[in-house]
Amino acid sequence: MALRIAVVGGVAVALFAVLLFRLWDLQILSGGHYLAEAKNNRTREYKVIAPRGDILDRDGNVLVDNRTSLALQLNTQKLPEDPAEEKAELARLGQLAHMSLRKVRRTIDEQEEVAAGAPVTLRKDVGYDLVYYLEENQRRFPGVVVQRVFVRHYPDESRAAHVVGSVGEVSEEELTEAPYKGLEPGDEVGQGGVEYTYDKYLRGRPGLTKIQVNALGQPTPGGQLVSQPPTPGDNLKLTIDPEVQAAGESALASRGLPGAFVTMNVDNGQLLGLGSFPTFDPTIFTEPMTQSQVNELYRDPELGLLTDRATESYYPTGSTFKIVTALAALEGKVITPSTTIFDGGKLTVGTQSFQNAGGASYGPLTLVPALEVSSDVFFYELGLKMWDTGQLQRWAAKLGIGQESGLDIPGETEGLVPSKKWREELVAEGLAEERPWSAGDNIQLATGQGDLQTNPLQMAIAYAALGNGGTLVTPHVGMEVEDAAGRVLKEFDPKPRRRIKIDPGHRAAIMEGLHLAAQGPQGTSYGVFGGFPIEVAGKTGTAQRPPHADQSWYAVLAPYPDPRIVTIVTMEEGGFGAESAAPAALQILEAYFDKRASSVSAAGTGLAE
Amino acid sequence: MMYATRTRGGRAEPFAVRVSIAERLGLAHMDWPLALATVALAGFSVFTLGQATSHDVPGSPHYYLDRQAVYSLLGLVGMVLLTRIDYSRFRELRVGIYTFLCASVSLVFVFGFAARGSRRAFEFPMFSFQPSELGKLLLVLALAGFVIDGARRGSVKRRTLRYLCLGLAPAALVFLQPDLGTSMVLVVATLAVMYFGGVPWTHFAVIGAALIALIALVLVAAPAVGVPVLKGYQEQRLTSFLHPSEDAGGAGYQQNQSVVAIGSGQKTGRGDRATQTRLDFVPERHTDFIFAVIGERYGFGGAALVLSLYALLFWRALRIVTLSKNSYGTLVAGGIAVSLLFQVFINVGMNLGIMPITGIPLPLMSYGGSSVIATFLAVGVLQSINIQARLSQKGRFAW
């Protein structure tokens, strides 16, 4: 018996030792770890979404703001544990949200993968009737909440769509990048246009509410620990002029041809209008898209709606390029403004013959009339004179052609100015036929043909440099960041890229040629601008872009002789410059000057100031 | 001495009178450390419940406090009354006790109050009574009697089988209620009585092997052939402590939270800043997981104190086993001591995450009248054995 009692006593000692050791381990050795876990346990953090800043035009009109929307969200942890009950609830939810059970499950899985534990958004923009129904039947829908969310709203639909861009959920890749530090999956960031470039100003900071909860996740009385309200994003004011933008968009839309327009202040690079056709309503990005919508949007980058033809295109420019040729020839002392060149209707170099458009011949010409009538032969001769000097390419580069401009909208293209070196490289890489750079190549380039690839924005910058006497501006659409009260927090005035030395006499000659081309009786666009009350300097362009029909261009500086703005319009397959692009440019200028005239007359009556 | 002082009437010496009254109440020969540990544990329970459950029942902050205090006082009274009874009478009443035990645990199937899918207790207007709790004591009292009574009847093997059957019958009834935890305590109490009753070691080896085979059958083999013996939640609870993180939302979750609660108490405890046990992260904090409350609120100091009190209690109980004046007392004391040790170890181990969740309350500390009172009564029986032993050593009976 004594043995049996001793055995039990020994076992008891061992058992108590085990308990005490375990207690020691938990409380003394690992206590800190468990204390942290316990503290973490009892708080829930709720993020309060910050509304994104508005995007305004230069007059303060809203281009993009937010609307609040009711989103049907599901807290998956609160779903019934029983699989059959869970299935029943999801099916009921699906009926409410007009989704199949399979789609509901897929939505949950997809969002759980990105942000496990976060509420799953089943459907945005649910109606109030659904909210009331859910409130009345709360018990049948555990875990279902209706959350107020902010959705981007575009009051003028497609207005300046390529400029403003769109927002979307931050991608996993972006989350690892510095500008998106501190964001979480599901947060919305700018994904294009100024929404992307100025995201850090527009985004705002989410608020945080920390609540002490019990094990069921229910707030405990007086359990609100921290409440930090969200900071709304700041508003972004663009340089876009509403009238100019509207005129440009309607001019493009009325012809229905793919094309683009750029209107820019020649002195500081502020873009008053920037548009591309066909265009889109960014609202589509705020809603779930059907596959056919996705296909329509992305089917072809060259033809697609999303491509901004003002900045992302690769076009030859036709005769609008002639100012580059003229500047290169004058500044390179190849000709002077009084040098006469005979235009016999064509120029023959070796076996190649280059003709004027329409078979015209203008006889002996100096630069000014050559620009007025847009003699090709005159400029062919200049191209021939400079064919292996590289002067033309140098001046194109000086004027920013074939270079990214530093525009504050992502996606602009570099383009290409063909040169001897480029040709040789191409041949060396076996990408082109075995043929050296020829006079013919340069002759083509002199009139904006051949392998030249540029876009309306680059042309606007080049024309602006001519107009302002040699400053290569940095184009931009961002003007100011304002807080909600309208106080300016930051102004954007990017420095010019460089100054080019242009002889004032040379500039004056070219400007005169352009002025006559627009408003002289012999001018190529006299039919369009002849009756315009404000003096302008404009140049037509008709670019051959096989296999397409000719592309119509127009470049205009106004007012002449000291321009404030430059407008470039191009329309694919629009024919002669004067035919479609020039009338569109006229519409834009009318809008610009009408507005100024009316504000001047308002000032005259003493109403202003 | 005693008779002498009495004859002196009012002129008794104060010292002699005091001895007389103490002896009359049986207090002089009580095991005081045992009584102290018992009352201290019950008192600590009342204190803890008062602090930790003041928000549990809306409108009555003292709900659990008041009730547990009343249960403890009733238990205390019952304990003192039992000390005055010679426990050997229970040996004579063994058949009656055994019959009452089996009847009461059977009747809950008919009249029982169903709570959470199991019928364990009778519901009365003011209180509920769970016969299986008292059954732990009753089984020990009756079985010890059967063992002593049958000591010279039949072969050793037959006797072992008979004891087993007698013990396992009520255990099986309780298991079917279903109440896995209490039925396990009944099995352990049976084995303990047999152990102190001198059942050969070899028989225990066979029983042990059979138990292991049974566990394997219940947990592995039976479900594999489609005959589940345990309810799903029972099996989950029993096995989840082996892999707590796998099932963070279910049974393992509860145990995890209990471990976190105890760990977060560190040396000195978190007091009213305790969150794990105050905000419902730990389930059943007033009953099965009260040790977690103590660990979190009062830290290592409080929890170690509780363990020490149980160690003291068990040591004194084991001491009484050695002191008992007769074999019946040895068997009863041994059965009570071992079943108390088993309950404490399983419950505290469960709180500490090293034992399965079995729903065994912590004796004297878990909230619940049946359990508290039954434990007090068991201690009363131990005291009775102690007193009788002391008195017999002096060659006298109390009354």
Which segments within chain B are labelled E, that is strand? Answer: 113-115, 118-123, 128-129
Q: What pLDDT shows up at residue A220?
A: 60
CB A169 within 8 A of CB A11: no
State the average pLDDT over residues B181-198: 93
Q: What pLDDT shows up at residue B235?
A: 72
CB A26 within 8 A of CB B262: yes
B266 shares contact with chain A (CB less than 8 Å): yes
- Enumerate helices (H) and strands (E) in chain B, giving the number of each: 16, 3
Q: What pLDDT shows up at residue B246?
A: 46
Chain A positions in Cβ-Cβ contact with residue B300 (cut-off 8 Å): 23-24, 27-28
Q: Which residues pair with A153 in a beta bridge?
A: A65
Helix axes B94-111, B131-149, angle to 10 degrees: 150
Q: What pLDDT shows up at residue B256?
A: 82
Q: Is the dihedral of CA B4, B10, B12, B17 positive or negative?
A: positive
Rg of chain A over Cα atoms, rounded to whole angstroms, equals 33
Tens digits of per-residue pLDDT, A514-568? 999 999 888 888 889 888 999 999 999 998 888 888 899 999 998 988 999 999 9
Q: Indicate if the pLDDT at residue A370 is higher than 80.
A: yes
Q: Indicate if the pLDDT at residue A359 is higher than 90.
A: no
Question: How far is the first Cα of chain A from the last one, in angstroms, to the nearest whole number?
Answer: 114
Q: What pLDDT shows up at residue B21?
A: 60
Q: What pLDDT shows up at residue A273?
A: 94
Give the number of beta-carbon pairs within 8 Å between A and B: 119
Chain A positions in Cβ-Cβ contact with residue B315 (cut-off 8 Å): 12
Cβ neighbours for A367, distance < 8 A, ≥ 6 positions apart: A326, A330, A335, A337, A339, A378, A509, A510, A513
Average pLDDT across chain B, whole number: 84
A76 shares contact with chain B (CB less than 8 Å): no
B349 shares contact with chain A (CB less than 8 Å): yes
State the average pLDDT over residues B164-176: 92
Question: How far is the first Cα of chain B from the last one, in angstroms, to the nearest whole number?
Answer: 15
d(C-alpha A171, C-alpha A180), whole Å: 10
Q: Say how many CA atoms lie within 13 Å of B174 toward its Cβ.
A: 28
Q: What percent of chain A has pLDDT over 70?
A: 91
Q: Residue A463 has which token pair?
A: 């024309």
Interface test with B, best of A18, A34, A216 (most B CBs within 10 A): A34
User: Cβ of A16 and B310 within 8 Å?
Assistant: yes
Q: For residue B272, how far is the Cα from the chain centroid?
A: 29
User: Cβ of A19 and B261 within 8 Å?
Assistant: no
- The single residue listed with the structure tokens 């082109």 is A432
- Enumerate helices (H) and strands (E) in chain A, giving the number of each: 21, 23
State the pTM of this model. 0.60
Q: What pLDDT shows up at residue B8?
A: 44
Give B399's pLDDT tier (boundaries 50, 70, 90).
very low
ipTM of the complex: 0.89
Eight-state DSSP code of residue A352: E
Cβ neighbours for A206, distance < 8 A, ≥ 6 positions apart: A47, A48, A49, A50, A187, A230
A15 shares contact with chain B (CB less than 8 Å): yes
d(C-alpha A383, C-alpha A321), whole Å: 12
A137 shares contact with chain B (CB less than 8 Å): no
Q: For residue B86, how far is the Cα from the chain centroid?
A: 21
Burial class of A278 by CB neighbour count within 10 A (0 to 12, 13 to 18, 19+): middle
State the average pLDDT over residues B111-133: 76
Q: What pLDDT shows up at residue A91?
A: 83
Q: What pLDDT shows up at residue A2?
A: 85
3-state SS record for A511-531: HHHHHHHHHCCCCCCHHHHCC
Range of A281-295, A461-475, A537-551 with top mean pLDDT: A461-475
CA distances A259 to A455, A525, B335, Å, are 11, 19, 98
Q: Which residue has the higher pLDDT, B283 or A237?
A: A237
What distance in Å separates residue A88's CA from the closest CA in chain B?
21
Tens digits of per-residue pLDDT, A249-278? 999 999 889 999 999 999 999 999 999 988
Q: Which residues pair with A510 in a beta bridge?
A: none
- The single residue listed with the structure tokens 């105890």 is B262
Concatenated DSSP letters of B381-394 = HHHHHHHHHHHHHT
d(C-alpha A374, C-alpha A377), whole Å: 9
Tens digits of per-residue pLDDT, A118-127? 677 777 777 7
Omega within 30 of 0 (cis) for the link into A547: yes
Q: Which residue has the higher pLDDT, A312 or B281?
A: A312
Question: b/e string for B281-306 if b means 16 or more Cβ within 10 A?
Answer: bbbbbbbbbbbbbbbbbbbbebbbeb
Helix axes A83-97, A101-114, angle to 10 degrees: 100
Concatenated DSSP letters of B80-109 = HHHHTS-THHHHHTHHHHHHHHHHHHHHHH
Q: What pLDDT shows up at residue A577?
A: 79
Q: Is the dihedral of CA B194, B195, B199, B201 positive or negative?
A: positive
What length does chain B have? 399
d(C-alpha A266, C-alpha A278), whole Å: 26
Average pLDDT across chain A, whole number: 85
Least confident window among A161-175, A590-604, B19-33, B146-160: B19-33
Eight-state DSSP code of residue B255: H
Q: Residue B15 has which token pair?
A: 């010292």
User: Cβ of B330 and A26 within 8 Å?
Assistant: no
Chain B positions in Cβ-Cβ contact with residue A211 (cut-off 8 Å): none
Q: Which residues pair with B122 in a beta bridge?
A: B129
Q: Which helix (H) or strand (E) holds B238?
A: helix B232-240
Q: Which helix (H) or strand (E) holds A262?
A: strand A259-265
State the average pLDDT over residues A161-190: 83
CB A382 within 8 A of CB A330: no
State the average pLDDT over residues B136-160: 89
CB A491 within 8 A of CB A270: no
Q: Residue A18 has which token pair?
A: 């085990």
Q: Strands A235-238 and B128-129: what pairing?
A: unpaired
Chain B positions in Cβ-Cβ contact with residue A31 (cut-off 8 Å): 263-267
Tens digits of per-residue pLDDT, A317-336? 999 999 999 999 999 999 99
Which segments within A356-406 are labelled E, that is strand? Answer: 363-365
Residue of A nearest to B192 (CA): A8
Chain B positions in Cβ-Cβ contact with residue A212 (cut-off 8 Å): 275, 279
Q: Residue A377 has which token pair?
A: 């032969």
Segment A205-209 long-range contacts (CB within 8 Å, at least 24 positions apart): A205/A50, A205/A230, A205/A231, A206/A47, A206/A48, A206/A49, A206/A50, A206/A230, A207/A47, A207/A48, A207/A50, A207/A231, A208/A45, A208/A46, A208/A47, A208/A48, A209/A45, A209/A46, A209/A48
B204 shares contact with chain A (CB less than 8 Å): no
Helix axes B251-264, A31-41, angle to 10 degrees: 120
B276 shares contact with chain A (CB less than 8 Å): yes
Concatenated DSSP letters of A416-448 = B---HHHHHHHHHTT-S-S----HHHHHHHHTT
Q: Which residues pair with A491 in a beta bridge?
A: A480
B146 shares contact with chain A (CB less than 8 Å): no
Name the residue facing B295 among A27, A35, A41 (closest C-beta): A27
What distance in Å separates residue A183's CA from the closest CA in chain B?
28
User: Cβ of B263 and A216 within 8 Å?
Assistant: no
Tens digits of per-residue pLDDT, B341-380? 999 999 999 999 998 888 899 999 999 889 999 999 999 9
Q: Which residues pair with A168 in a beta bridge?
A: A189
Tens digits of per-residue pLDDT, A8-33? 999 999 999 999 999 999 999 988 88
CA distances B269 to A27, A76, A128, A444, B304, Å, are 9, 35, 50, 89, 12
Q: Residue B152 has which token pair?
A: 């010279």
A217 shares contact with chain B (CB less than 8 Å): no
Tens digits of per-residue pLDDT, B8-62? 444 444 444 445 565 665 667 889 999 999 999 999 999 999 988 877 777 788 8
